[in-house]
Amino acid sequence: MKLFPAIDIRNGQCVRLRQGQFHDVEVYSHVPVKVAKSFEAAGAAHIHIVDLDGALAGHSVNEEIIREIVQAVSIPVEVGGGIRTAKDIENKLNLGVRRVIIGTRAVEDPQFVKECIRNFGADKIVIGIDAKNGMVATDGWEKLSSYNAVQLAQEMESIGVKTVIYTDIAKDGMLSGPNIEHTREMVLRTGLDIIASGGVSCMKDLDDLNSIPVYGVVIGKALYENRIHLGEAVKKYGKR
């Protein structure tokens, strides 16, 4: 199981939202690049970045900070938030980002995803599926679509997607434990590499997700609140 420590960027700062609510935000660092370097120093093999301003605006907002992070660390960085066009993807890859996460556009236009896989390769494209009560949310989690999360994952798989980050919005930033049931369903009903996101609060949550088994897990607030020590988690899981 791969570990993806998370950096969510809002107004140039490293923050965490509660249940995706942009008005319910907590700032953990004014210098996201320092956080990234601390993750690498703790042994992380990957970094997960979300441009929250970009997700809301529909275009990249914190690109210079992302560039700074990519240049400051030697481990792969994946980025999501506001990626809506092929040019957006090209720009991120040119920054040195290893792979990009497409969310809203995947719901609106699956054909776009198919073209991106053809043009950039399936290893460069990750689909972010963010769900409320099993239904997919878009536009920075502000809008609810008519897609069931598993249904969307299956459609993405059929067009060549290999990896999905599945987030239960109700769990995100709440430290209440991941949605094991829905995540397991996603794993069992698709052949995708599923990265679980939202609600991870302790090492037991990592154990539970590993038993499903998921391909990877995004860890955010639990790291910032010192409920999970990254070095310890890496020692147990991160090098596999």
CB 32 within 8 A of CB 69: yes
Q: Is the dihedral of CA 163, 158, 182, 209 positive or negative?
A: negative
Q: Mutual orientation of helices 203-210 and 180-189 as an angle, nearest 10°? A: 30
8 part of the active site: yes
- Provide the pLDDT for residue 240: 45
Q: Which residues, other chains included, contact 181 with Cβ-Cβ below 8 Å and sequence gap of 6+?
A: none
CA–CA distance from 63 to each of 7, 9, 97, 192 (Å)?
13, 10, 11, 29
List phi, psi (to 5°) of 131.
Answer: -125, 145
Helix (H, G, I), strand (E, B) or coil at 66: helix
- Provide the pLDDT for residue 7: 98
CA–CA distance from 186 to each of 150, 166, 174, 195 (Å)?
6, 8, 21, 10
What tokens were used for 214? 């998921």
Alpha carbons 108 and 180: distance in angstroms, whole number: 27
Q: Write down the catalytic residue from 8, 53, 88, 168.
A: 8
Per-residue pLDDT of the chain (240 residues; tens, 9 = 90+): 999 999 999 999 999 888 777 878 899 999 999 999 999 999 999 999 999 999 888 888 999 999 999 999 999 999 999 999 999 999 999 999 999 999 889 999 999 999 999 999 999 999 999 888 888 987 766 677 788 999 999 999 999 999 999 998 877 666 788 999 999 999 999 999 999 999 999 999 999 999 999 999 999 999 999 999 999 999 999 654
Strand-pairing partners, residue 148, are 135
53 part of the active site: no
Alpha carbons 95 and 90: distance in angstroms, whole number: 9
CB 110 within 8 A of CB 153: no
CB 145 within 8 A of CB 138: yes
- Provide the pLDDT for residue 140: 64
What does CATH list as the number for 2-238?
A: 3.20.20.70
N-to-C CA span, the chain: 6
The length of the chain is 240
According to DSSP, residue 75 is labeled S
Would you kindly state where each structural domain of the chain is located, as residue ranges? 2-238
pTM of the model: 0.94
What tokens were used for 45? 């093999």
Alpha carbons 2 and 218: distance in angstroms, whole number: 9
Helix (H, G, I), strand (E, B) or coil at 158: helix
Q: Write down the catalytic residue from 130, 168, 172, 205.
A: 130
> Strand 125-132 and strand 135-138: pairing?
antiparallel
- Provide the pLDDT for residue 154: 97
Q: Is the dihedral of CA 160, 162, 168, 173 positive or negative?
A: negative
